[in-house]
Amino acid sequence: MLSKNQAKSLRALHRKKTRRELGLFLVEGEKVVAELLASNWQVESLYATPEFITAYQDLIKLSKVVLVECSATELTSVSTLVSNTAALAVVKIPKQKFKSLDASQTWILALDAINDPGNLGSLLRIADWYGIGQLVCSPTTAEVYNPKVIAASKGSFLRVALSYQPLDDFFNQLPANTAILGAYLEGESIHQLEACPRGGVILLGSEAQGISQALAARVTRKITIPAFGAAESLNVGVAAAVICDNLKRLGAG
């Protein structure tokens, strides 16, 4: 059974300020919590229904997590989801890590002020689908531990490394010949990209503002997705998926 103090503490983690102060965040729902328990992420406590506990008892035992059994109604009352009939975990925020990757042979997504949490979650999922292991985000990009990001990522936050830093600083760390492909409304068609590199950085800006002028000079090639209708633009997640798919089709990583 969920106590009043436990419920209050869980609801407090809906707020960014509390997440930062405590260094904790929420993971919600059956599949993603099960993936979490099977990972090496540090789970502080688990709130789960009897059905979830029975189905995943071996994982729960191995994780040695503090377990609180509660009803689906209790879970939903403290969840950010419309309905949560399985589990909710309180997880320790890990230290920010940047993977050491060979940018000439693999792709990294760089996000310039992507401030919609749903879009960031989708971008994590897209990166995971296409085998991209690293997202580098400007400080103005949405917080990865926002419950909407976690939910939209469908567990991909567990596998894709994400870090925050000024993108100019990040670009300065890369070898001088690193390809930086910037997504624009005008540029080389991603369907027919000639002499396509095998790796580098795919730079994406927000749907409203695009890539900032401050970063435009760092782009080595402007790329675009050809339009065949009258839509003004594409959602950044959709654009990222189209770009990644075409890079794979062209044999570029």
Residue 69 placed within a domain: yes
pLDDT of residue 192: 87
Structural domains counted in the chain: 2
- 33: domain CATH number is 3.30.1330.30
pLDDT along the chain (253 residues), means of 10: 95 98 98 97 97 96 94 96 95 82 81 97 98 96 98 97 95 92 94 87 92 95 95 93 93 57
pLDDT of residue 103: 66
pLDDT of residue 194: 84
- 225: domain CATH number is 3.40.1280.10
Verify that 159 and 214 share a domain, yes or no: yes
pLDDT of residue 184: 95
Verify that 188 and 225 share a domain, yes or no: yes
Query: Terminal CA-to-CA distance of the chain, rounded, Å?
Result: 50
- Give me the sheet containing 134-137, strands edge to edge: 161-164, 134-137, 107-112, 200-205, 180-189, 221-224
pLDDT of residue 244: 96
What DSSP state is assigned to residue 137?
E
Angle between the 236-249 and 117-129 helix axes, to the nearest 10 degrees? 10
Amino acid occupying residue 199: G
Q: DSSP secondary structure string, 36-70?
A: HHTSSS-EEEEEE-HHHHHHTHHHHHHHT-EEEE-
> Cβ neighbours of residue 236 under 8 Å, at least 6 residues apart?
114, 119, 123, 204, 205, 206, 207
The residue among 92, 115, 135 that closes a domain is 92
The residue among 68, 92, 116 that closes a domain is 92
Report strand pairing: 24-28 vs 87-92: antiparallel
pLDDT of residue 224: 97
Q: Which domain holds residue 61?
A: 4-92
pLDDT of residue 1: 87
Verify that 132 and 63 share a domain, yes or no: no
Amino acid occupying residue 128: D
